[in-house]
Amino acid sequence: MDDIESREIQMLHEEMVRLNKLTERLLDTLHATIVWIMHYHEQTGVPIPKIDALRYLMKEVTKLMTELGASDESLQGKRPDDKVPEPSRVSSNLAES
């Protein structure tokens, strides 16, 4: 292999790693959003239309994250830098107005 081929392979590898990390971040964000919605539902009692579809989506996201080799923290929804507010009746009232 010459230097040009070697650099092209390295660039392709770096792009694949970047896309893998981006995909993991997107799935992690989707996972965290679903967890928050489910938690909101549990805390406020606000009904969620098609909650079974949301549960199915959660299972699929978790499977994809596992296939990608996502970190345990991502799979458990534990990210120390998160500043996600707790659901409250106030948010529920705002959603109804």
pLDDT of residue 27: 93
DSSP 55: H
68, 23 in Cβ contact below 8 A? yes
pLDDT of residue 72: 58
pLDDT of residue 7: 92
- Mean pLDDT, rounded, for 19-23: 92
- Mean pLDDT, rounded, for 9-18: 95
The residue with greater pLDDT, 50 or 69, is: 50
Q: Which two tokens stand for residue 13?
A: 């590898």
DSSP 77: T
